Chain A
């Protein structure tokens, strides 16, 4: 069974008189454990698609089934619960909370989910070790390098063991070498079974994925997974 099934998804923005079809009748199906790169020119709808997949945005038409369940009809609170448990986000600009330490940032999703502090501490310690951040647990984001920040962000995105990891330009703010480290890290997670969807401008990074979705003007121009 597909982890993600999009059918006839459309997202329309109205800007004054003009109408922007950010997503236009999209049909995509992604299997568990897949590694997908979403590519395309600027403004083609990549981020809009990722936001829809992450339940941060609602489509104007079509249906979205996540792990077999229609999630477009869920209430906002139910969607929040799905985001909390089944989806992990990694952003281009890291989005770490500046006043919290690395450990506290990683613990944030567990705190929001109401997981007891003792269990949080234990899982954070493990995650810090897994992501090579044990020496940085008490550091605030401004005391970390870009690569370390993104590693904290990835640790945070995966701490709840989501079904799908969504990354929007995860290397956009990093130099080549650090960016490669981050991609390696994401791929390692994918190899352990996590579905990975990466939006990228970078053809090299895109080429590393098993499957490429090419977007243009809100339409899916090509999908390497379908031949």
Chain B
């Protein structure tokens, strides 16, 4: 029998029982669609987090005040209960480290902004001119904070796009005076809108020089120090340098936590990859179930078409021909199911992306390939048994079933 004829015969046999065929196709389709959509979700989450982290800056090393709980026990920890403040001077000292490219201190607090007859609560970030280089801010107007003495700082402010909208509307803001708490500050720049992101959304922030922020909030301690290493390979060395430098400045006490963005990112990446794989694995169970259903459908087909199989043998069909015809039928069910499911899955991912535009819900290639291969091979593996059963039928017995 010619290959084209085997396929046509199998197709006609499958379409002769539309309900049974469409149900097993549907089962296979659901399995593949589940893998595609769920891995799109998982991988979308991973990409989202990775993108957000990358937007925070590259080659980033971050210093937090206080020792993290993971530091373990050390005699120094046991003796002192109050850690040293993380100060602007600490941050400035770090700029002298050889492998450090840039340093930006960060103080955060709440205040009220008052201008143009409008008043609203804002989160104030106190930092230095270097911060914009680390975070790659884009300006809508004016410029970021000017360079200058880190401890003093000029009476200026850079405002987020939403703050600018609410207070100045369509009028230009640069050059205007605003009241922030009890300070009068001149607006020198407006940030471009960035939209929702991980961590801080700059649209509703105002930036002032670190010195201004510290006197505004009457504090000496920093919320963070952000450090950009000279290169990707220097991140670990910078982490060590920073730790040593701050320990020396804090009287030999290791009372800060230094984290690298890479490590955090790698952890998230690994976690979310594992999650995606696990979800794909769970969804793949439905593929196995679909495979069993295909087998069941094919066994029913063999039973139902026993007389036909006997006839085919009487007409000169070899066992292998009959086996191939039934395998082709099982493969078609799986193939059509797999591609229908792939289409459904892509559509599902598309709908997800429409609903959550920031969320890059694309199924990873490996998941798509794995899902298609799994569905095809389960269809074939589970198709073998019924097909062999058909091929082995005794023609005389088979012809008597009518």
Q: Which of A66-74, A84-92, A131-139 contacts B (4 or more CB under 8 A)?
A: A84-92
Q: Which residues of B contact A91 (CB under 8 A)?
A: 399
Q: Are B396 and A80 in touch, CB under 8 angstroms? A: no
B316 touches A56 (CB 8 A): no
Q: How far is the CB of B233 from chain A (nearest CB, A)?
A: 66
Complex: A57 Cα to B315 Cα, angstroms: 14
The stretch of A111-119, A188-196, A207-215 in contact with B is A111-119
Asked if B146 is an interface residue, CB under 8 A from chain A, the answer is: no
Instruction: Output the least CB separation between A208 and chain B (Å).
Output: 25
Question: Measured between C-beta atoms, what is the minimum distance from B20 to chain A in Å?
Answer: 13
Q: Are B317 and A56 closer than 8 Å at their CB atoms?
A: no
Chain B residues near A114 (CB, 8 Å)?
Answer: 1-2, 5
Question: Measured between C-beta atoms, what is the minimum distance from B217 to chain A in Å?
Answer: 83
Question: Could you tell me the distance between the alpha carbons of A109 and B321 in the complex, rounded to whole angstroms?
Answer: 12
Question: Judging by beta carbons under 8 Å apart, are B12 and A56 in contact?
Answer: no
Q: What is the distance, in angstroms, from B54's C-beta to the closest C-beta of chain A?
A: 59
Report how far A95 CA is from B402 CA in the complex, Å: 8
Does A121 interact with chain B (Cβ within 8 Å)? Answer: no
Question: How long is the Cα–Cα vector from A113 to B317 in the complex, in angstroms?
Answer: 8
Contact with B along A102-114 (1 / 0, CB 8 A): 0000001101111
Contact of A112 with B314 in the complex, beta carbons under 8 Å: no
Residues of B within 8 A of A108 (CB): 312, 315
Q: Which residues of chain A in 180-225 are interfacial with respect to chain B, using CB atoms and an 8 Å cutoff? A: none
The reply to whether the CB of A51 lies closer than 8 angstroms to some CB of chain B is yes
Taking a contact as CB atoms under 8 Å apart, the answer to whether A80 and B16 are in contact is no
Residues of B contacting A109 in the complex (Cβ-Cβ under 8 angstroms): 315-316
Q: Which residues of chain A are within 8 angstroms of B1 by Cβ–Cβ distance?
A: 111-114
A151 at the B interface (CB under 8 A) = no
Give the shortest distance, in Å, between B22 (CB) and chain A (any CB): 16
Interface size bucket, A side?
20 to 34
Q: Of the candidates B9, B316, B318, B399, which one forms a contact with A95 in the assembled complex, judged by CB atoms under 8 Å apart?
A: B399
A112 x B311 contact (CB < 8 A): no
Q: A56-B396, A111-B1, A111-B5 are in contact. Are A99 and B315 (CB under 8 A)?
A: no
Could you say which residues of chain A place their CB within 8 Å of the CB of B312? 108, 112
Q: In the bound complex, do residue B396 and residue A57 qualify as a contact, i.e. CB atoms below 8 Å apart?
A: yes
**CA distance in complex: A112, B5 (Å):** 8
Residues from chain B with a CB closer than 8 A to the CB of A89 are 314-315
- Return the contact of A113 from the options B307, B313, B316, B395 (Cβ within 8 A): B316
- Is B402 touching A112 in the complex (CB atoms < 8 A)? no
- The answer to whether B13 touches A83, judged by C-beta atoms less than 8 angstroms apart, is no
Q: Which residues of A contact B395 (CB under 8 A)?
A: 56-57
Contact assessment for A77 and B318 in the assembled complex, using a CB-CB cutoff below 8 Å: yes
**How far does the alpha carbon of A117 sit from the alpha carbon of B5 in the complex, in Å?**
9
> Which chain B residues lie closer than 8 Å to A97 at the CB level?
308, 311
Task: Please provide the chain B residues from 305 to 343 with a CB less than 8 Å away from any CB of chain A in the complex.
Answer: 307-308, 310-321
Q: Which residues of B contact A7 (CB under 8 A)?
A: none
Which residues of A have CB within 8 Å of B13? Answer: 99
* B253-294 contact mask (Cβ, 8 Å, vs A): 1 or 0: 000000000000000000000000000000000000000000
Q: Is the CB of B316 within 8 A of A81?
A: yes
Structural contact, A100 and B318, CB atoms closer than 8 A: no
Contacts of A160 in B (CB 8 A): 316
Question: Does A93 count as interface, using CB distance less than 8 angstroms?
Answer: yes
Q: Is A156 located at the chain interface by the 8 A CB criterion?
A: yes
A76 at the interface (CB under 8 A from B): yes
Contacts known (A100-B12, A111-B1); A80 close to B318, Cβ less than 8 A: yes
Complexed CA–CA distance, A12 and B313 (Å): 22
B9 — which chain A residues lie within 8 A by C-beta? 111
Choice from A51, A85, A100, A111 contacting B396 with Cβ under 8 Å: A51
Q: In the complex, which residues of chain B have a beta carbon less than 8 angstroms from the beta carbon of A156?
A: 315
Closest B residue by C-beta to A48: B396
User: Shortest distance in angstroms between B28's beta carbon and chain A's nearest beta carbon?
Assistant: 23
In the complex the two chains form, is B399's CB within 8 Å of A84's CB? no
Q: How far is the CA of A160 from the CA of B316 in the complex (A)?
A: 10
- A83 engages B315 (CB within 8 Å): yes
Q: Can you list 27 contacts pairing A with B, beta carbon distance less than 8 Å?
A: A51-B396, A56-B313, A57-B396, A76-B319, A77-B318, A77-B320, A80-B318, A80-B319, A81-B316, A83-B313, A84-B316, A85-B316, A91-B399, A93-B402, A95-B307, A95-B311, A97-B311, A98-B16, A100-B12, A111-B2, A111-B9, A112-B315, A112-B316, A112-B317, A114-B1, A117-B5, A160-B316
- Give the interface of A toward B (CB within 8 A): 51, 54, 56-57, 76-77, 80-85, 89, 91, 93, 95, 97-100, 108-109, 111-114, 116-117, 156, 160
Given A95-B311, A156-B315, output 14 extra A-B contacts at Cβ < 8 Å. Answer: A51-B396, A56-B399, A76-B318, A77-B319, A80-B317, A83-B315, A95-B402, A99-B13, A99-B16, A108-B315, A111-B1, A111-B2, A114-B5, A116-B2
